């Protein structure tokens, strides 16, 4: 089910946005993520590719690593300020995360169809703050952005 509706972010998306801002403030790419189970954040992270000189350190991967071994991911929801790329979508599918709430997909379409084909529900908020974070970053540091998305 796709829900493209411009609603305001809840506390969990606000936490993901805070992670994105932390990444930006560290000189990195402003993408943040949290994973939620039973109404509690069990992991949080942000894109650390620049900070760690690690091409795999995407926000969703950082979030999952920070969550640690939580058993299984049944009933979890992943929040991300940007539509996950194929790397991160692959992790979502691999771990059986069935719901992803996304800040926006206008600046980057990501792997939405891939996740849907694997039974993942996508809720796209089209949040203005998330879009603005990415638009500003892409304008300020296009070479870093294109490196991040592999172009």
Question: How far apart (Å, rounded) are the C-alpha atoms in residues 101 and 125?
Answer: 7
Question: pTM for the full model?
Answer: 0.92
pLDDT, tens digit (0-9, with 9 covering 90-100), for 67-76: 999 999 989 9
Question: How far apart (Å, rounded) are the C-alpha atoms in residues 78 and 148?
Answer: 20
pLDDT, tens digit (0-9, with 9 covering 90-100), for 2-53: 444 455 669 999 999 999 999 999 999 999 999 999 999 999 999 999 999 9
pLDDT, tens digit (0-9, with 9 covering 90-100), for 47-106: 999 999 999 999 999 999 999 999 999 899 999 999 999 999 999 999 999 999 999 999
What residues are annotated to the active site? Answer: 60
Question: How far apart (Å, rounded) are the C-alpha atoms in residues 110 and 149?
Answer: 9
CA torsion, ordered 38, 43, 44, 50, to nearest 10 deg? -150
CA-nearest of 95, 15, 93 to 59 is 15
Q: Which two tokens stand for residue 73?
A: 């991911």
């Amino acid at each position: 089910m796709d829900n493209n509706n411009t609603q305001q972010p809840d506390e969990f998306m606000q936490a993901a946005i805070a992670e994105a801002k932390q990444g930006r403030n560290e000189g990195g790419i402003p993408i943040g993520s949290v994973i939620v189970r039973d109404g509690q954040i069990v992991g949080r992270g942000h894109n650390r590719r620049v900070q760690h000189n690690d091409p795999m350190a995407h926000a969703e991967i950082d979030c999952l690593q920070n969550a640690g071994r939580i058993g299984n991911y049944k009933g979890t929801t992943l929040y991300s300020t940007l539509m996950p790329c194929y790397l991160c979508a692959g992790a979502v599918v691999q771990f059986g995360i069935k719901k992803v709430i996304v800040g926006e997909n206008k600046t980057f379409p990501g792997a939405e169809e891939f996740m849907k084909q694997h039974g993942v529900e996508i809720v796209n908020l089209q949040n203005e703050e998330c879009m603005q974070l990415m638009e500003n970053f892409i304008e300020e540091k296009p070479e870093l952005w294109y490196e991040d998305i592999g172009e």
